[in-house]
Structure 1
Amino acid sequence: MQAYTLSMLIKASLFTAIPMLILPAAATEKTISELVDAVNGTPDSISRDAGKKVKLRNHANGFCTSGVFKPNPQVTETLAIPFFTQSNIDVLARFSLGGTNPQSSDKTAGRFMSLKLNGDTESLHFVTSNAEVFFASNLDDFFTFQTKVKQGNEGKQWLIDNKPDAKAFFEYIKKLPPTSSYADNRYFGVNSFMFTSNNGETVAGRWIFEPVNGVIAASAAEFAQKPDHFLQQELTDRIATAPATWDLYVQLADKDDKVNDPTIVWPASRQRQLIGQVIINGQHDDAKATLECDKGIFNPLQLPKGISASADPILNARSAAYIESFIRRN
């Protein structure tokens, strides 16, 4: 981790307009560069150089669009977050699939949604997926998972046999029904954040995006008739007539919940606070920020006053890893 130099962070912050990042303590011997190599499948200088030439990145199959966020007026009655006192906040969204192949088939169950809420003086970013559980609780296991999955079925079986968190993740994904639209999914922020309440106390919470029209799974027959690439066109056509809309909640932790472990799903009975509504309508799709959204990163540690990062090591490594990946492809 220490190998990631301060000068690179300063350089990155200049063109991503994000604050300086606090890297996690030395909980792993792996550097940020090694973690990015594990995700990209570039374990040596030859593959790394080849990856730079093709601008290799995770979530390569994706696209950007836009909309608006409308905060719940009642949220500030319980949470001391001035950001949510605004009436309308512009949204930049990127929907994607996992993996480094920009031509990967849309016929998979995994869906990802990243958002930038750009307010008057502050911003709030989200990095979410339709999986409620993560596959690793620490950076060593993250590195091992990414390395082993690149080995195909043999590596996956090794993970199932040796890593309980990875096994639980594979079992979850296996049961996850595919959908015919990005709009038909719930999205989860598996990492925890700390929220300041109006009484000055701090409570841990996780983001959950609930589609207003509910989760709609595609039947096997319906999915079989789809072409390999349909998700971008489907969402573009959809929002041309009616927006795709999600209610944003914070699921609040109980005193006994493990806050810093994204492999643990909190019980559904936990209290939820309605934060507002995300409305994806394409209203700024012709704007430069949308057209050039891949020239920046979605930084989950870009937070307004009243929200801070938990001690989750996965969360605290994300920004530095995203910046490292960004630098490599630019």
Structure 2
Amino acid sequence: MDSYRLVSFINTCLLTGVTVLSSSVFAADRSSAELVDAVNGTPDSASREAGKKVKLRNHAKGFCTSGSFIPNPKLHNTLAIPFFKQAEIPITARFSLGGTNPHASDRGAGRFMSLKIDGDKESLNFVTTNSPVFFASNLEEFFNFQTKVKQGAEGKQWLVDNQPNAKAFFDYIKTLPPSASFANSRYFGVNSFLFSANNGDIKPGRWSFEPVDGVVNLSQNQLDKLPNNFLKDELLTLIQQKPAIWDLYIQLAEPGDEINDPTVLWPETRQRLLVGQVLIDGSRDSESATMQCDRGIFNPVLLPEGIKPSADPILNARTPAYIESFIRRQ
């Protein structure tokens, strides 16, 4: 990216309320540069420069495709979010695995879905994972987790012994079987947002995506018969025949629920509002937004009127860290 385009990108981020440099969010915690180093495994200047040369990034193995979002008209009976009054909104989607290895095996359990829903005047981005359990409640825990997991068994044991949230995450992942398709995975936005209600109240909630065709997992025997790279071809072949569809919900908090800690799960009994449906069909794959999807970032706090971020430190650290990573890849 030339200097003019880079400056324009940064200015856009600033105009949307995102700071590129370390903000007060990080005052007593880790800077965005430190967080990116922890994720990338680049703790010193030599490894950092080497990472820049190969354009090191998290979720390195992934691909982009496209579709549409169809809002649920009944949502307006509860929430005051004008963005969802549009009939159909274009989507750019990126499906990926976690980690910096672009050759990671698809046989692991982790699945990630990021979306850009670009309306007439506003946009809404999502960064989601197939695990509702998050491993860190603050930036220090996040930094420790990303640093220690790269140290192998010894580092993982340190996390188990010293960070209960990391142990809970590891315990959950052990029980999570690999899904047969990106299309048959549930996805969760582990962070909370604040939604404006018609009566003037502010309702905290979290996003979740439920596959219309259901969750389909693989047995070990089925998994052993698959190649290391089956997920991309499977989804792109599927959507030539029919769209992959998810119902998007907001799970609403009740008084007393922790909204600023993504490691705290809310009871399944909490009310859910149907926001609409995500349809991934590849219909816009030839458009520049899809073809250049890998070059940008998905900004989870780029929000339309009626939605605001919570005070969750993990949420508010995401976009500055994404921008730091983006700049290093140029």
TM class, shorter-length: over 0.9
Offset from partner CA, 1:64-114 (integer Å, 9 cap, x none): 000000000100111000000000000000000000010011110000000
CA distance in 2, matches of 1:17, 1:225: 48
**Structure 1 residue 11 displacement after superposition:** 5.3
Gaps of 5+ in 1: 1-8
Where does residue 298 of structure 2 map in the other structure?
298
Does the alignment pair 1:13 with 2:10?
A: yes
For residue 305 of structure 1, give the secondary structure of its aligned residue in structure 2. coil
CA distance in 1, matches of 2:43, 2:166: 21
CA distance in 2, matches of 1:157, 1:261: 23
Where does residue 282 of structure 2 map in the other structure?
282
Where does residue 164 of structure 1 map in the other structure?
164
Where does residue 253 of structure 1 map in the other structure?
253
Does the alignment pair 1:200 with 2:197?
A: no
For residue 233 of structure 2, give the secondary structure of its aligned residue in structure 1. helix
**Structure 1 residue 205 displacement after superposition:** 0.2
AA aligned to 1:19 is T
- The answer on whether the counterparts of 1:195 and 1:205 sit within 8 Å (CA) in structure 2 is yes
Report matched runs for 1:1-330 at 5 Å: 12-14=9-11, 19-21=16-18, 23-26=23-26, 28-330=28-330
**Structure 1 residue 21 displacement after superposition:** 1.3
**Structure 1 residue 307 displacement after superposition:** 0.1
Deviates further, 39-48 or 21-30: 21-30
Offset from partner CA, 1:135-169 (integer Å, 9 cap, x none): 00000110000000010111001101111000000
**Structure 1 residue 24 displacement after superposition:** 4.8
- The answer on whether the counterparts of 1:12 and 1:323 sit within 8 Å (CA) in structure 2 is no
CA distance in 1, matches of 2:164, 2:196: 34
Gaps of 5+ in 2: 1-5
CA distance in 2, matches of 1:272, 1:69: 18
Offset from partner CA, 1:33-80 (integer Å, 9 cap, x none): 011000000000000000000000000000000000000010011100
- The answer on whether the counterparts of 2:25 and 2:317 sit within 8 Å (CA) in structure 1 is no
CA distance in 1, matches of 2:53, 2:322: 18
In the superposition, the TM-score normalised over structure 2's length comes to 0.95
CA distance in 2, matches of 1:174, 1:27: 35
State the number of aligned residues.
Answer: 323
**Structure 1 residue 133 displacement after superposition:** 1.1
In the superposition, the TM-score normalised over structure 1's length comes to 0.95
Offset from partner CA, 1:163-188 (integer Å, 9 cap, x none): 10000000011100111210011000
Where does residue 4 of structure 1 map in the other structure?
none
